[in-house]
């Protein structure tokens, strides 16, 4: 068997205390404890600020340091909009139309909120300028439990449901109006998207043929959807963040609330660190997987919990046998 110095070209350092500023990948032996330690790359969920109004079926725009969460449901549909600065949620300008099951796209200061149920199921689309919402061009097809990707001026509205059935419809927004483009291969609702761009995103999980807890994953190239490798754990009512090639699938239900988080590298999904609180139907966003935020949802109790996805390095003890 090759020894460490042959493989890595260096020996393991012998230290009586952890180094003050270890480099990523650095390995050392602690003479006082007998431990072998390494500076490793890690990613995990950490607790953030609590929403002022606990809710489910809210939707986010922006990332973990600058985000809004909009609408949703408690015992009634909400128009409440809250803004997040990385630590605290503050109530800001409300939507014109209270709803749940809607979609959001964009950033903290330039966002869209569209579709959902008021009731009835609606086509209404509102635009946010950082202080107020204004109704702009409506969708062509009313839907609820719809997904989204993109920005305030270039977005997608994907799938969703009407009474009585799931929809495969995809509509593209150019800043003024919606145009129907290529449909999903499988009509679904209560699924998630990476939140990527108008021309590059993935959509995964949800409810659709052949049943509720889908592993199904489809990739969008700006023209059409293609089936790609599915989730490890089939689920609905989950969250998503990131890009077409670097995404997270967050929480969800089977119908039991899940804490599972999976990471997508553009080819396959890998189980990674779980949420601190298992839940579903929460507000999800993050233009990159490293900026992901998950707020509110059901446990099945309605909660105001916020978790942020942190990426960085830490010192870990190596288990040996």
CATH number for the domain spanning 131: value is 2.120.10.80
Is residue 320 over pLDDT 70? Answer: no
Give mean pLDDT, residues 15-44.
71
Is-contact 278 251, C-beta < 8 A?
Answer: yes
Is-contact 189 166, C-beta < 8 A?
Answer: yes
Query: What would the pLDDT profile of 81-98 be if each residue is shown by its tens digit?
Result: 999 999 999 999 999 999
| Bridge partners for 87 per DSSP | none
Query: What would the pLDDT profile of 286-301 be if each residue is shown by its tens digit?
Result: 999 999 999 999 999 9
Query: What would the pLDDT profile of 190-205 be if each residue is shown by its tens digit?
Result: 999 999 999 999 999 9
Instruction: Please give the sequence-ordered ranges of beta strands (E in DSSP) within 20-88, or none if there are none.
Output: 27-30, 36-47, 59-63, 66-70, 81-84
C-alpha triplet 183, 189, 194: angle, nearest 5°: 75
Query: What would the pLDDT profile of 252-278 be if each residue is shown by its tens digit?
Result: 999 999 999 999 999 999 999 999 999
Give dist(CA 156, CA 45) in Å, integer: 28
30 band by pLDDT with thresholds 50, 70 and 90? confident
Boundaries of domain holding 263: 47-311
| Pair 67, 214 in one domain | yes
Is-contact 160 115, C-beta < 8 A?
Answer: yes
Report residue 7: phi and psi, to 5°.
-75, -45
| Pair 118, 168 in one domain | yes
Cis before 119? omega within 30: yes
| Pair 15, 141 in one domain | no
Report residue 173: phi and psi, to 5°.
-110, 130
DSSP 8-state code for residue 134: E
| Pair 54, 37 in one domain | no
| Pair 187, 305 in one domain | yes
Q: CB 144: neighbour CB atoms within 10 A? A: 25
- What's the predicted TM-score (pTM) here? 0.87
| Pair 146, 36 in one domain | no
| Pair 145, 291 in one domain | yes
| Pair 212, 261 in one domain | yes
Domain count for the chain: 2
| Pair 69, 207 in one domain | yes
Q: Supply the mean pLDDT for the chain.
A: 92
* Integer angstrom CA distances of residue 204 from 20, 24, 67, 232: 43, 33, 23, 11
| Pair 25, 151 in one domain | no
| Pair 132, 119 in one domain | yes
| Pair 172, 275 in one domain | yes
DSSP 8-state code for residue 289: G
């Amino acid at each position: 068997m090759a020894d460490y110095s042959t493989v890595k070209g260096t020996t393991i350092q012998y230290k009586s205390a952890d180094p003050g500023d270890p480099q990523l990948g650095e390995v050392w032996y602690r003479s006082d404890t007998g431990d072998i330690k390494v500076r490793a790359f890690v990613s995990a969920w950490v607790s953030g600020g609590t929403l002022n109004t606990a809710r489910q079926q809210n939707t986010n725009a922006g990332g973990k340091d600058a985000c809004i969460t909009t609408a949703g449901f408690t015992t009634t549909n909400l128009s409440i909009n809250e803004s997040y600065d990385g630590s605290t949620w503050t109530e800001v300008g409300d939507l014109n139309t209270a709803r749940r099951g809607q979609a959001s796209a964009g950033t903290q200061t330039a966002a869209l909120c569209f579709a959902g149920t008021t009731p009835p199921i609606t086509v209404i689309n509102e635009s946010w300028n950082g202080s107020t919402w204004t109704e702009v061009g409506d969708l062509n097809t009313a839907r609820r439990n719809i997904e989204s990707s993109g920005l305030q001026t270039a977005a997608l509205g994907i799938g969703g449901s009407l009474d009585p059935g799931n929809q495969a419809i995809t509509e593209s927004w150019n800043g003024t109006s919606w145009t129907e483009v290529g449909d999903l291969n499988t009509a679904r609702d209560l699924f998630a998207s990476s939140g990527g761009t108008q021309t590059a995103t993935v959509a995964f999980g949800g409810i659709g043929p052949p049943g509720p807890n889908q592993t199904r994953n489809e990739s969008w190239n700006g023209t059409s959807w293609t089936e790609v490798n599915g989730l490890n754990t089939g689920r609905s009512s989950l969250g998503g963040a990131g890009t077409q090639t670097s995404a997270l699938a967050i929480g969800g239900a089977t119908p039991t609330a899940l804490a599972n988080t999976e990471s997508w590298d553009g080819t396959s999904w890998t189980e990674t660190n779980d949420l601190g609180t298992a839940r579903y139907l929460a507000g999800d966003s993050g233009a990159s997987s490293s900026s992901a935020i998950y707020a509110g949802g059901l446990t099945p109790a309605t909660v105001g919990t916020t978790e942020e996805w942190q990426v960085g390095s830490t010192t870990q003890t190596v288990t040996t046998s």
